[in-house]
Structure 1
C-alpha cells in the first residue's frame, strides 16, 4: 500500500543507540563510548522515517534503503527503559546504520513494525519508487548486475538470449514484493534469466531511464548535430537526469562497457549491445526505424565513451584493472575444467582439520557459494555437524588465520589472494575445522558494551609495538594519542578491513594474543617504507581477546554470528 498519512508518537519510543546495535555514519561519531538508550519522537511519512531523541536534532532515514525490518527479543540493556509493557524490539537495518525501537506497549510496537515494513517494501512502477542501495541504485538493478557480472560476463549471447519466461515472471514478482529479500542463486536461475529480468524491468518503466525530456538532445548528439566532442555534450545532458536515474545510468553503462570488453568470449560487441539497449533505455511513443537507430547510436556512444563521459578517476581505473586481472586469472583457470561444468565454477583444495595434514578434498565453488554451504557439503567427512564447523583462511605461512563467517563467499576470499605478492600468498589455503573462535566470541555478543582499553600497536612501518588507547564503537576501530582519548590518531571502519588472528613472526608483541588487519580494498604490497603485511594490535588476556573479537563480529554480522542447524540443513 502507499502511505499517504502521517503517524506520530511521543514518549513511547526508545532508541537503542549503543554502538554494537547502532552503526552511525561519520557525522554521528559523538555517540562514542557512552552511547545509551533514550526516548524520543518518531514519525512515518510515506517512505521516510523521521526521529528525534531527547534534546537532539531531527533526523531522517530513507526507508527505501532499509535492508531488514524485523522484530527481535528485548535486549538486556533495554531492561531499564520506562515503558508500560516489556516486549520485542523493532530492528530497522540500513547500510551503515541500524535503529532499535521499542514503544510503550507490545501492541504499538507490532503496529509500528507493520507500518515501517509496509512503507519500506512499497515498490511502485517508477524508478524512484524502488528499494535502493546505499549508492542510490535500485536493488533489483544492483543485484541483477552483480549476478551477471559473476556468472554471465563471459557467456555467449548475454543480453541477446532470452531466459525462461516462468523464471523471469517469478523473479519480477519477488523483486516487487521485497527486493532485499530476493536471493539469486545459480541453482535456481541462469544468467539469461537474470539478464532478461533486468531488460524487462527497465523496458517496462513508465518513464524510460534516459528520460523523454532528454530524448531529442541525446539523439542530436549521436547524429553529430552538436559538434565533434560528444563526451562533453553527453555529460552536460546526462547531468540533467534525476539523481537516481543518473547514478543508475552510470552503473549500467559501466557494466555494459565491461561486457563489451569481453566480446571475444561473449560475442556481444558494442553494436549488439546498443541494438538491444537503445530501445530499452530510451523508449518513447511513436517509435520508428530512424529513431530506433539513433537510440542505438546513443547507447553505443555511451558505452564506448563511458570513461570520458562519467569522468572516471585514476583510482577507479586502477580498481577496474585489478578486477579484470583477477577475473582473467579466474576464467583462465576455469577454462581447464570439463565443458559440462556450470560456467563460473572453480575447483579448490580444502584441508581437513589443519593445514599440515595431507587429508584434502577438492571442492567446486562458484561466485555465489557460501562458506556455510561448503561446511554442509563436507560435514560427512568429519565427526561434527555442519553448524559446528567453519572454514578457516590460513595465510602468511600459517602465521595468520581467520575464521570465515558462514555467509562469506568462498571465491571472494581466494580471489583476494590474487592481489598479494607471491611471497605472501604462496602457502595460503582454506582449512575445514571446528568453529571454536566464533563460538567463543558469539557468547559475548549480546552483552557487549563499547570497548575501550590499552592495546599494543604496530603499523605497517614499525617492528616495535607501542601502547595506545583503543576504542571500538559505531563499527569503527580507533586509537588515540593520549589516555583521555582527546587526540584521535586514526580509525578504520570494520567493513573496510579484513582481520586475522596472529602476527608476523618478524615482529613479536610479547603479548597473549594479537590481531592483524589489512585494508580490504588495497593490495597489501610490501615496500621499504612499509615492510610489514598489515597493522597489528595485541593484548594481555584470553578474555580480552574474546571481547574484542566479539565486538568486531557483532558489528559485521549483527544478527547471525553463528549459523543455526536449520540454516545449514
Structure 2
C-alpha cells in the first residue's frame, strides 16, 4: 500500500540521520505517540499534533498539507519506524493507564498524586519519614523483591545478609499494611490505589518482616488446597446497620480448600459466609473507626466487601 511504501522511505531516511538527531527524533515521536494514544481524553489525535509540530520539524513554514501529513505518519507509525519491541509498547500502555487513572481519580476526589509522568515514586525505608525516603522509578516489570533490593542499595547503611526485607503496601493512612509476595509486580498493585477514597494516603515501605522468616523456614503443605486452620475470632463486616453498628461478633473461622469460611460456632455444619481466597487481599491491621475490641487483627478485602477480624495477640495475627 501507499502507506507501507511511505513508512519504508521514512525508515531509510531516519537511519541516515546522525545518531544525535535520530535519538532526538525518537524521543519526540515517542512522546507524541503516547499523547495521541490518550486522544480520547486530551483531544489531541495525531492530526492535531502534526499541525502543531510540523512547523518545528521543517525548515519551511511547516503548515502545508504535505508537511503535516509526514508528521502524522511519523507519529502514527512510531512503533514500526523505531522497531519498538512488544515489551516496550506494553510498558508505554501501562504507564499511560497509570497516569490517566490517577488523574481521573484526582479530578473526582480532589486528591493529589505523588507520581510524576515518568513514574518516579517515593519509597520509604522502615518508616514514613522524609529522611527515610528514596525516589525510585518503577517499571511495569519490577517485582517486590527487586524494589526492596533497589531501595536498600541506595542507602549507605549496612544490612545483614540474612535479614528478610519485605515491601509493604500501606493504605488507609497507615492503618492497614500488606507484605507483598516477592514475585508481585509493584506497578500493578499501585494502579489499584486509584480505587481508594484517598489514593495519596497510600505508600510503599521496605522493612524487615518476622513473618517472612517464619514462612520461609516452615515446611509447605503437600497440597495447599487441603490446608486447614481454624479458630474463634471476633468478626465485623463493617456494615452500619442500625442494630449491629460496627459491633464485632464471635465467629468460628476456618481456612480450608482455598476458601475462608465463617460459622456461627464450631458445631454448625453450614457456613454463614464464604469467600474464595484467590479473590482477596489480606492486610495486617484494622480501621480505628470500627473501634475494634483489641489491638491486633487483619482485614480481608474483596472487590465488594471488607471483612475485619480481631486477634487476641500479635502471634495470632501474623499466623492468620
Of 244, 253, 271, the match for 1:488:
271
Q: Are the structure 2 counterparts of residues 161 and 535 from structure 1 closer, same or farther at C-alpha, using a change threshold of 3 Å?
A: same
Structure 1 partner of 2:308: 536
Structure 1 partner of 2:135: 362
Structure 2 partner of 1:131: none
> Number of residue pairs matched?
230
Task: Report the Cα distance in structure 2 between the residues aligned to 1:163 and 1:431, rounded to whole angstroms.
Answer: 37
TM-score (norm 1): 0.35
Kindly indicate whether the alpha-carbon contact (under 8 Å) linking 2:233 and 2:309 is maintained by their aligned counterparts in 1. yes
Task: Report the Cα distance in structure 2 between the residues aligned to 1:518 and 1:405, rounded to whole angstroms.
Answer: 16
Deviations 1:490-526 (A, max 9, x none): 112222112111111123433362001211x35x7xx
Q: Are the structure 2 counterparts of residues 366 and 327 from structure 1 closer, same or farther at C-alpha, using a change threshold of 3 Å?
A: farther
TM-score (norm 2): 0.60
Task: Report the Cα distance in structure 2 between the residues aligned to 1:153 and 1:372, rounded to whole angstroms.
Answer: 34
Cα RMSD, aligned residues only: 3.8
Structure 1 partner of 2:158: 383
Structure 1 partner of 2:89: 191
Structure 2 partner of 1:256: none
Kindly indicate whether the alpha-carbon contact (under 8 Å) linking 2:238 and 2:290 is maintained by their aligned counterparts in 1. no
Structure 2 partner of 1:420: 196
Give yes or no for the alignment of 1:468 onto 2:242: no
Task: Report the Cα distance in structure 2 between the residues aligned to 1:479 and 1:159, rounded to whole angstroms.
Answer: 55
Task: Report the Cα distance in structure 1 between the residues aligned to 2:205 and 2:77, rounded to whole angstroms.
Answer: 36
Task: Report the Cα distance in structure 2 between the residues aligned to 1:386 and 1:363, rounded to whole angstroms.
Answer: 24
Task: Report the Cα distance in structure 1 between the residues aligned to 2:162 and 2:139, rounded to whole angstroms.
Answer: 20
Structure 2 partner of 1:510: 293
Task: Report the Cα distance in structure 1 between the residues aligned to 2:280 and 2:315, rounded to whole angstroms.
Answer: 23
Kindly indicate whether the alpha-carbon contact (under 8 Å) linking 2:253 and 2:261 is maintained by their aligned counterparts in 1. yes
Structure 2 partner of 1:410: 186
Q: Are the structure 2 counterparts of residues 431 and 397 from structure 1 closer, same or farther at C-alpha, using a change threshold of 3 Å?
A: same
What are the within-5 Å matches in structure 2 for residues 105-184 of structure 1? Answer: 154=37, 157=76, 161=80
What are the within-5 Å matches in structure 2 for residues 241-252 of structure 1? Answer: none
Q: Name the SS of the counterpart of 1:431 in structure 2.
A: strand
Structure 2 partner of 1:477: 260
Q: Name the SS of the counterpart of 1:544 in structure 2.
A: helix
Structure 2 partner of 1:398: 174
Kindly indicate whether the alpha-carbon contact (under 8 Å) linking 1:444 and 1:546 is maintained by their aligned counterparts in 2. no
Task: Report the Cα distance in structure 1 between the residues aligned to 2:115 and 2:171, rounded to whole angstroms.
Answer: 26
Deviations 1:184-226 (A, max 9, x none): xx8xx5339x9xxxxxxxxxxxxxxxxxxxxxxxxxxxxxxxx
Q: Are the structure 2 counterparts of residues 443 and 535 from structure 1 closer, same or farther at C-alpha, using a change threshold of 3 Å?
A: same
Kindly indicate whether the alpha-carbon contact (under 8 Å) linking 1:158 and 1:191 is maintained by their aligned counterparts in 2. no
Give yes or no for the alignment of 1:459 onto 2:237: yes
Unaligned residue ranges in structure 2 (runs of 5+):
1-33, 39-74, 108-112, 240-244
Deviations 1:330-369 (A, max 9, x none): 9x989965xxxxxxx5111011111245321111002221
Give yes or no for the alignment of 1:500 onto 2:283: yes
Q: Name the SS of the counterpart of 2:127 in structure 1.
A: coil
Deviations 1:392-429 (A, max 9, x none): 1222222111111111111122221111113xx34221
Give yes or no for the alignment of 1:434 onto 2:227: no
Kindly indicate whether the alpha-carbon contact (under 8 Å) linking 2:125 and 2:151 is maintained by their aligned counterparts in 1. no
Structure 1 partner of 2:13: none
Of 228, 249, 257, the match for 1:450:
228
Q: Are the structure 2 counterparts of residues 357 and 334 from structure 1 closer, same or farther at C-alpha, using a change threshold of 3 Å?
A: closer
Kindly indicate whether the alpha-carbon contact (under 8 Å) linking 1:367 and 1:410 is maintained by their aligned counterparts in 2. yes
Q: Are the structure 2 counterparts of residues 349 and 457 from structure 1 closer, same or farther at C-alpha, using a change threshold of 3 Å?
A: same
Q: Name the SS of the counterpart of 2:214 in structure 1.
A: helix
Of 139, 145, 164, the match for 1:372:
145
Kindly indicate whether the alpha-carbon contact (under 8 Å) linking 2:98 and 2:191 is maintained by their aligned counterparts in 1. no
Kindly indicate whether the alpha-carbon contact (under 8 Å) linking 2:102 and 2:194 is maintained by their aligned counterparts in 1. no
